[in-house]
C-alpha cells in the first residue's frame, strides 16, 4: 500500500485489488454461543434458539463474495442482520464461526495490532448518524484518520482539503458540525472516509437519516466518486430503491440469512422466492431493467436497422422516452463495443415494465355494471 502521507487516490484497477469473501459466517449472541453452532447448522430455528436457550441468532451461514472496485449493497428489513454483518468486516463484531477473507487473510484471526492497522489503513466507515466530533472543524474532522496515523498536518491538511472540495464543501473548512445541515455533515463523513485512502469503504445506512432530496443528492455524489475511484464499497440499506440505484450487486437478508444475491435486474426479473417477489413487487421496473436485457436479436440478412440508437445500459424508462420523443416504435440497441447487438420496440418495453401480476388479458378489470 502507498504511504498514507501521499494523496490518497491510488486508482488501482479493480483487477489488482482483492475483494471480500465471507465464508459460512455465523453469529449467535449469548454467553454460550459456540455451544449452539452445531445445532443451528443442523436446523435449529431462530425462534427455538431464543425460546429454549435464550440466545439470539444474528447471522446464519452467510456466504458472499463482494467484488473489488464495486458497490455491494446488503439490504433487508429491521432485524435482518445487515448492520451486524458489516461490523464483522472490520472486526467490530467477532463471529461465532466462519471466515472473512481480504487479500488472503482472515480478518477474524488478526491479532489486536493487526486488526488496528487493518482498520486504520484498509477500511473506512461512514455512519448513519454522521459520527462527527463536535469540537473539531470540518477540516479537522476530515483529516481525523490521518491524525490517528500520526501524519503531520502539513501533509494531511492538503489531502483533507482536496476531499472537502470533491464532496462540494469548499469554503466550509472552518465550520463546526452544528453549523452544517444533515446533508453537509454526511458529506464531511464521506470526505473523512476518502481521506484515509482505504480500499474498503463501509457505509452503514449512511444516507438513511437524510431528507429524500438530500439523500438522492448524496447517492449521486457517491456514484460520481465511485466512477473514478473504484473503491470496494459495502453499502447497508433498508431501502430497495436506494439499493437498486447504487448496487452493482445486491444481497437481501432475512432473519440473518441470505435470501438472494444478484444484480438489481436479476432480483427484479427472477426473484428467488415469494418473499423476494413481494419485496420487489412495487419496484418501478422501468428504472431497473436495461434495454439490452429485453432486446431481440438482430434480424438476419440485409435488413435496415432502426435509425434511432440507444445504449444497452439505458433503462427502459429512458429508452421509452427517447422513442416517444422521436415518435418511433423501435430502436437499435448498442452493445458495450458500440456496435448493434439487438432491436427493441415500444410494446416489448412497456410489457417488461409491468409486473406479471399487473398484466391482464383485456377488460377483466371491468365489473358487470361497467360491462353493461
What is the C-alpha radius of gyration for the chain, rounded to an integer number of angstroms?
24
Band (307; pLDDT cuts 50, 70, 90): very high
> What are the C-alpha distances in Å from 217 to residues 70, 87, 171, 298?
20, 26, 19, 38
Res 158 pLDDT > 50: yes
Structural domain span for residue 303: 286-357
Does residue 20 fall inside a structural domain?
Answer: no
> What are the C-alpha distances in Å from 135 to residues 71, 118, 218?
32, 27, 24
Res 360 pLDDT > 90: no
Task: Measure the CA angle with vertex 357, ends 355 and 363; round to 5°.
Answer: 110
End-of-domain residue from the set 279, 307, 328 = 279
Number of domains in the chain: 2
Does residue 240 fall inside a structural domain?
Answer: yes
Q: Are residues 335 and 301 located together in one domain of the fold?
A: yes
Q: Are residues 219 and 350 located together in one domain of the fold?
A: no
Q: What is the reported pLDDT for 208?
A: 86
CATH number at residue 293: 3.90.1280.20
Res 135 pLDDT > 90: yes
Q: What is the reported pLDDT for 265?
A: 92
> Which residues, 6+ apart, have CB-to-CB distance to 367 below 8 Å?
none
Q: Determine the Cα–Cα distance for residues 166 and 223; give it in Å rounded to an integer.
A: 13
Q: Are residues 192 and 153 located together in one domain of the fold?
A: yes
Res 355 pLDDT > 90: no
> If you search the block for the grid coordinates 435496415, which residue do you land on?
304
Q: What is the reported pLDDT for 11?
A: 43
Reported residue count of the chain is 372
Q: Are residues 116 and 261 located together in one domain of the fold?
A: yes
- Please say whether the beta carbons of 134 and 188 come within 8 A: no
Res 95 pLDDT > 90: yes
pTM assigned to the model: 0.84
End-of-domain residue from the set 244, 279, 314 = 279
Q: How confident is the model over 191-205, as pLDDT tens digits? A: 999 998 889 999 999
CATH number at residue 92: 3.40.50.300
- Provide mean pLDDT across the span 257-262: 96
Does residue 36 fall inside a structural domain?
Answer: no
Does residue 26 fall inside a structural domain?
Answer: no
Q: Are residues 236 and 319 located together in one domain of the fold?
A: no
Does residue 33 fall inside a structural domain?
Answer: no
Q: Are residues 298 and 273 located together in one domain of the fold?
A: no
Q: Are residues 128 and 225 located together in one domain of the fold?
A: yes
Does residue 16 fall inside a structural domain?
Answer: no
Q: Are residues 319 and 349 located together in one domain of the fold?
A: yes
Least confident of 10-14, 73-77, 267-271, 329-333: 10-14
Concatenate the DSSP letters of all residues of 240-300 into one string. Answer: HHHHHHH-SEEEEEETTEEEEEE-HHHHHHS-SSHHHHHHTTT--GGGTSBHHHHPBPPPS
What ranges make up the beta strands (E) of the chain?
A: 20-29, 56-66, 71-75, 97-102, 105-106, 123-126, 200-204, 232-237, 249-254, 257-262, 309-311, 330-334, 340-345
Band (370; pLDDT cuts 50, 70, 90): very low
Cβ count near 364 (within 10 Å): 6
- Please say whether the beta carbons of 121 and 145 come within 8 A: no
Q: How many CA atoms lie within 13 A of 95 on its CB side?
A: 26
Does residue 82 fall inside a structural domain?
Answer: yes
Q: How confident is the model over 19-69, as pLDDT tens digits? A: 899 999 999 999 999 999 999 999 999 999 999 999 999 999 999 999 999
Q: How confident is the model over 163-214, as pLDDT tens digits? A: 999 999 999 999 999 999 988 998 999 999 999 888 999 999 988 888 888 8
Q: Are residues 235 and 309 located together in one domain of the fold?
A: no
Does residue 55 fall inside a structural domain?
Answer: no
Amino acid at each position: 500500500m502507498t504511504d498514507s502521507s501521499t494523496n490518497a487516490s491510488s486508482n488501482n484497477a479493480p483487477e489488482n485489488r482483492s475483494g471480500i469473501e465471507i465464508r459460512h459466517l455465523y453469529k449467535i449472541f449469548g454467553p454460550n454461543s459456540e455451544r449452539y453452532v452445531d445445532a443451528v447448522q443442523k436446523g435449529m430455528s431462530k425462534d427455538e434458539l431464543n425460546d429454549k436457550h435464550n440466545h439470539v441468532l444474528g447471522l446464519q451461514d452467510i456466504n458472499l463474495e463482494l467484488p473489488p472496485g464495486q458497490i455491494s449493497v446488503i439490504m433487508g428489513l429491521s432485524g435482518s442482520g445487515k448492520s451486524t454483518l458489516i461490523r464483522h468486516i472490520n472486526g467490530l463484531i467477532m463471529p461465532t464461526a466462519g471466515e472473512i477473507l481480504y487479500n488472503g487473510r482472515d480478518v477474524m484471526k488478526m491479532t489486536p495490532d493487526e486488526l488496528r492497522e487493518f482498520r486504520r489503513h484498509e477500511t473506512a466507515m461512514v455512519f448513519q448518524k454522521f459520527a462527527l466530533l463536535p469540537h473539531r472543524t470540518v477540516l479537522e474532522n476530515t483529516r481525523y484518520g490521518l491524525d490517528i496515523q500520526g501524519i503531520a498536518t502539513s501533509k494531511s491538511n492538503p489531502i483533507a482539503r482536496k476531499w472537502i472540495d470533491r464532496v462540494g464543501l469548499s469554503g466550509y473548512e472552518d465550520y463546526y458540525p452544528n453549523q452544517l445541515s444533515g446533508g453537509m455533515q454526511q458529506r464531511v463523513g464521506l470526505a473523512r472516509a476518502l481521506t484515509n485512502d482505504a480500499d474498503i469503504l463501509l457505509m452503514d445506512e449512511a444516507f438513511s437519516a437524510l431528507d429524500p432530496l438530500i439523500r438522492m443528492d448524496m447517492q449521486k455524489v457517491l456514484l460520481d466518486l465511485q466512477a473514478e475511484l473504484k473503491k470496494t464499497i459495502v453499502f447497508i440499506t433498508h431501502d430497495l430503491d436506494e439499493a437498486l440505484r447504487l448496487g452493482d450487486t445486491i444481497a437481501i437478508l432475512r432473519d440473518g440469512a441470505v435470501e438472494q444475491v444478484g444484480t438489481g435486474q436479476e432480483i427484479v426479473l427472477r426473484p428467488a422466492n415469494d418473499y423476494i417477489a413481494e419485496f420487489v413487487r412495487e419496484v418501478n421496473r422501468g428504472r431497473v431493467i436495461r434495454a439490452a436485457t429485453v432486446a431481440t436479436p438482430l434480424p438476419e440478412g440485409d435488413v435496415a436497422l432502426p435509425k434511432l440508437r440507444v445504449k444497452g445500459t439505458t433503462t427502459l424508462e429512458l429508452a421509452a422516452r427517447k422513442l416517444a420523443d422521436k415518435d418511433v416504435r423501435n430502436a437499435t440497441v448498442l452493445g458495450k463495443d458500440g456496435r448493434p447487438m439487438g432491436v427493441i420496440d415500444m410494446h416489448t418495453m412497456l410489457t417488461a415494465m409491468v409486473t406479471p401480476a399487473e398484466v391482464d388479458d383485456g377488460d377483466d378489470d371491468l365489473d358487470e355494471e361497467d360491462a353493461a
